[in-house]
């Protein structure tokens, strides 16, 4: 693995190997041990063209725990580029000694484009590009499912509910769930928020939230960007919550041991109710913790491959 | 001590113990020794909902000197929350591994509210909430007085002059001075900038600056926010300086060995004159140095209590 | 050397000594060795009153590689000062433990002014002030020339082309080239972008780009700020590129082994063409790498002198 651009590029064994390593880092953290520091002396650059304090912080903590020097290069709020091309920005940071770049950009495919022009020794991690992919989020979601449901996903029914159309999180989850041979992948969203059918191969499209949740082992709900309302794709937050929000009543349709996931940040009362978010079936904070562990595993794997 | 929310919660012995530890860190710094690093492997999160480069930097240096990993989470300029509740932001950072949170917020009581919902192992430090409290500033001010005037405050006359009404610094100073049984606490301000009488128990309210300064051992002046003029609470900066500013003429009324303090940043020519700010009685830079030492002591105490 | 304010203050031997040390750091980096860390326990403050993610990052990496604790104090986007004087900002950061200050400011001479008021043990590095000086850029340019053309500059012809008038980079390059007894220094710019003649002592002023490039060993082109067009100093970017841009056709007039330099960030198609920027004669990425090495050498020298 030279870069991590999308989970589409990773075979099942590759995903499982990363999850295994991440599980190890998670256990090290819980044990309170000082971790090994395989990135000592390495420079990780957080190159964010879209602001994201949350994802950036998760990568920053992961890299620092591995001993790396971290440089935050926030292009969203900086005038650093002043007309410079994206590739020149990358070349400049490579020339300063940057080795691993964690890149977020609002435009689909930009990170893959940088992978074509970067130096031979450079490693890129896609931290979210447009609506395309957010592979470390996909991995942390799989790790969270695995911790609760075991390694064999073939008997699981996973429901993804919400704005799948605009979600890079959902796309990476779909790639990973398929790669891990998940028993049933259900997708449910208002029509305007469903993706093109070509993206849903192998998925069961459900016409409403209840039928998606019924009997599911895993209920993943997605953040609803408020822009969707401004764009007229959603009539009102109240109606959305009534029809698509995960409430205790709706969750009661799922298996009794079903888990509920959300990539955060949550809009409480829009896509999820307080009682579910804070309830015993919620694994939302585990997702965040697993995020740091997954990013440690990815950073380590990329350095080992260098 | 689980959190440091306000000096009201601390008994005299608690304050004196922290001052003693801070004095030790100050001496380590002056000796040029590398300090012990009791926070190695710990993660300190600077969670600032109000911008403050100065206080954030002081905490950042304190934490780094103790060996901590520091994550700056600047909510004032970030879009990280995007509708997320304050508690969810905290839960997310806890799940990432944040252990000690240094929190500043514009609204009174917010940090205390977070203390009610945080995880058991989490430690919170109030770095300023609304007009209520700024306890590390109160501690650094006491440390500065103690270094010049000795541990026994019972013979001291301390004058606090300026916008006490809107000042969390003054509130924390008042708590600390009372806890340390200060001989006389004098307060002087234009009527519109005096707090409610209920907050001045044990204080001598002076009608003008001269009577507050006369014979004082310690003269504390406060920053005048320019908003006060816009709000009509102060007629003009010139008149304010004439009536309430600390000038050499006014300072001559105090004891010859009186010290002058200011929490910074200073408006020279408004609440203090150049000659006083840079004069031999000013201990303003000591306050800043003591700030780092006090924060080291607080961080260490919270970790030791964990 | 107490501070690095301008290369005007440095004799030839001082410059050559720094270049020698920087070359050593460059080789350490290329060898993949962990460098010595002579700044362990030291605090370097990046005090930027003008935004510059690029230069700030270069200094940050240099300082961290030497083991320093780095504090980024971004005054351009912060409300930290709130009316505070520049000197008080410096005094505050000194009192917190800042020892080496890397300062950028939009006004000429500000860094030199701080050098007059700072504490005895403080060390200042000018990271660019107004149009006056950017000494580490001058040094990194000299290191880049030396790596390709050898230590003896007396046989070299160096052409500087572009907006010399507004460029602190060009001023520092001119100081360094003169100090190193460069054979011929040529300067070419549209009349409105030429500096006063008094600044061009020892330079050959060329009337057009072709005559400056013809037979040159080194072609330095400068960034054209878009403000120059708004100010009416440049008619159009197209005309500028035609008359002053470095294209393969123009570069063919130089010596076959001539190198092309640019301080970045580049406006491709304005002051330089893609083919030249990415071509075999371009040493632009070497300049960036040398920037980190030069800054390591300067930081080390200032600490050694303390």
pLDDT (tens digit, 9 = 90+) per residue, A16-74? 999 999 999 999 988 878 888 999 999 999 999 988 889 999 999 999 999 999 999 88
For residue A31, what pLDDT is reported? Answer: 83
Would the pLDDT of B76 be above 90?
no
- For CA atoms C78, C79, C80, C82, the dihedral sign is positive
Chains that touch B (3 or more CB pairs under 8 A): A, C
Contact A306, A159 (CB under 8 A): no
Is C43 within 8 Å of B52 when comparing Cβ atoms? no
Tell me if A95 and C285 make a contact (CB, 8 A cut-off): yes
Residues of C in Cβ contact (< 8 Å) with A67: none
Considering its fold, how many domains does chain C have in total? 2
Do residues C72 and C86 both lie within one domain?
yes
Q: Which residues of A fall below an 8 Å CB-CB distance to B?
A: 29, 34, 51-54, 57-58, 60-61, 64-65, 77, 226, 264-268, 285-289, 291-292
Task: Please tell me the predicted confidence (pLDDT) of residue C79.
Answer: 57
Q: Quick one: pLDDT at residue B225?
A: 83
In a domain, residue A160? The reply is yes
Question: Is A233 buried (19+), middle (13-18) or exposed (0-12) by CB count in 10 A?
Answer: middle
Containing H/E element for C54? helix C53-65
pLDDT value of position A79:
57
Sort A232 into a burial class: Cβ within 10 Å, 0-12 / 13-18 / 19+. Answer: exposed
> What residue in A sits closest to B95 (Cα-Cα)?
A289
C148 contacts C261 by C-beta, under 8 angstroms: no
Q: Are C260 and C281 in contact (CB under 8 A)?
A: yes
Kindly state whether residue B1 falls inside one of the protein's structural domains: no
Is residue C2 in a domain?
Answer: no
Same-domain pairing of C177 and C53:
no
* Same domain (yes/no): B189, B222: yes
Expressed in angstroms, the distance from the first to the final Cα of chain C is 9
Residue A1 lies in a domain: no
C81-99 residue pLDDT tens: 677 899 999 999 999 999 9
Q: Which residues of C touch A (CB under 8 A)?
A: 29, 34, 51-54, 57-58, 60-61, 64-65, 77, 226, 264-268, 285-289, 291-292
- B285 contacts C94? CB cut-off 8 A: yes
Contact B285 C92 (CB under 8 A): yes
Residue C251 and residue C264 in one domain: yes
> Do C94 and C201 lie in a common domain?
no
What is the arithmetic mean of pLDDT over C240-265?
97
Do B42 and B145 share a domain, yes or no? no
CB contact under 8 A, C52 and A80: yes
Contact between chains at C84 and B60 (C-beta distance less than 8 A): no
Question: Predicted confidence band at B232 (pLDDT cuts at 50, 70, 90)?
Answer: confident
A71·C61 Cβ contact <8 A = yes
In a domain, A184, yes or no: yes
Comparing CB atoms, the residue among A54, A65, A77 nearest residue B92 is A54
pLDDT of residue B79: 57
Tell me: do B141 and B129 sit in the same domain: no
Are the beta carbons of A60 and B71 separated by less than 8 Å?
yes
C186 and C261 fall within a common domain = yes
Chains in contact with A via at least 3 Cβ–Cβ pairs below 8 Å: B, C
Sorting pLDDT into bands at 50, 70 and 90, what band is B78?
A: low
> What residues make up the domain containing A224?
135-284
C-alpha span between A131 and C285 (Å, rounded): 33
Range in B67-76, B210-219, B226-235, C188-197 the model is least confident about: B226-235
How many A×B Cβ pairs under 8 Å?
64
Partner-chain contact C79 B53, CB within 8 Å? yes
Residues A109-119 pLDDT 10s: 999 999 999 99
Rounded to a whole number of angstroms, the CA Rg of chain A reads 19
Residues A209, A129 within the same domain: no
- C contact test, residue of B264, B270, B273 with most C CBs within 10 A: B264
Nearest CA in chain C to B225: C82
Contact B83 A267 (CB under 8 A): yes
Can you tell me the distance from the alpha carbon of C111 to that of C168, in angstroms, rounded to the nearest whole number? 13
Contact C285 A81 (CB under 8 A): no
Query: pTM value?
Result: 0.95
User: Out of C64, C226, C286, whose CB is closest to A69?
Assistant: C64
Asked whether the predicted pLDDT for residue A289 surpasses 70, the reply is: yes
* For range A280-290, the mean pLDDT: 98
For the packed helices C135-149 and C284-305, what is the interaxial angle rounded to 10 degrees? Answer: 120
Least confident of B162-166, B199-203, C33-37: C33-37
**Residue C24 belongs to some domain of the structure:** yes
> Do the domain assignments include residue A162?
yes
- Residue B80: predicted pLDDT: 56
pLDDT of C253-297, one tens digit each? 999 999 999 999 999 999 999 999 999 999 999 999 999 999 999
**Same domain, yes or no: C93 and C129:** yes
Q: Does C219 reside within a domain? A: yes
State the CB neighbour count (10 A cutoff) for residue A110.
18
A116 plus A201 within the same structural domain: no
**Contact status, residue C44 vs residue C102, Cβ threshold 8 Å:** yes
> Could you tell me what percent of chain A has a pLDDT over 70?
98
Interface with B, mutate which of C76, C83, C86, C90 (most B CBs under 10 A): C83
Say whether pLDDT at A82 is over 80. Answer: no
Q: What is the CATH number of the domain that holds A66?
A: 3.40.50.1370
Shortest CB distance from B288 goes to which of C79, C81, C96?
C96
Spatial distance between the Cα atoms of B88 and A285, rounded to a whole number of angstroms: 9
DSSP alpha helices (H): ranges in chain B?
12-31, 53-65, 86-95, 110-117, 135-149, 168-179, 209-213, 227-230, 237-244, 248-251, 274-277, 284-304
Give the per-residue pLDDT at C53: 86
Check whether residue C48 and residue C149 sit in a common domain. Answer: no
d(CA B138, CA B220): 12
């Amino acid at each position: 693995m030279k870069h991590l651009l999308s989970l589409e590029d990773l075979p099942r064994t590759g995903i499982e190997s990363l999850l295994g390593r991440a599980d190890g880092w998670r256990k090290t953290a819980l044990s309170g041990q000082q971790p090994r520091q395989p990135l000592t002396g390495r420079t990780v650059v957080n190159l964010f063209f879209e602001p994201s304090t949350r994802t950036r912080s998760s990568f920053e903590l992961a890299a620092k725990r591995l001993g790396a020097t971290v440089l935050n290069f926030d292009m969203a709020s900086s005038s650093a580029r002043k007309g410079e091309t994206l590739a020149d920005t990358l070349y400049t940071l490579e020339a300063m000694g940057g080795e691993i770049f964690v890149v977020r950009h609002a435009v689909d495919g930009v990170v893959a484009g940088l992978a074509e022009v970067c130096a031979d020794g450079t490693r890129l991690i896609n931290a979210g590009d447009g609506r395309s992919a957010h592979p470390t989020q996909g991995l942390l979601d799989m790790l969270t499912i695995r911790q609760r449901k075991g390694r064999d996903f073939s008997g699981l029914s996973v429901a993804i509910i919400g704005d799948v159309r605009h979600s890079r999180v959902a796309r990476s989850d779909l790639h990973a769930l398929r790669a891990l041979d998940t028993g049933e992948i259900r997708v449910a969203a208002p029509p305007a928020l469903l993706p093109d059918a070509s993206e849903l191969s192998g998925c069961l499209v459900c016409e409403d939230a209840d039928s998606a949740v019924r009997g599911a082992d895993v209920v993943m709900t997605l953040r609803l960007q408020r822009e969707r309302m401004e764009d007229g794709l959603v009539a009102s937050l109240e109606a959305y919550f009534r029809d698509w929000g995960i409430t205790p009543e709706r969750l009661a349709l799922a298996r009794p041991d079903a888990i509920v996931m959300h990539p955060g940040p949550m809009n409480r009362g829009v896509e999820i109710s307080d009682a579910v978010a804070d309830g015993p079936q919620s694994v939302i904070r585990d997702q965040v913790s697993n995020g740091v562990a997954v990013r440690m595993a990815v950073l380590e794997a990329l350095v080992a491959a260098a």
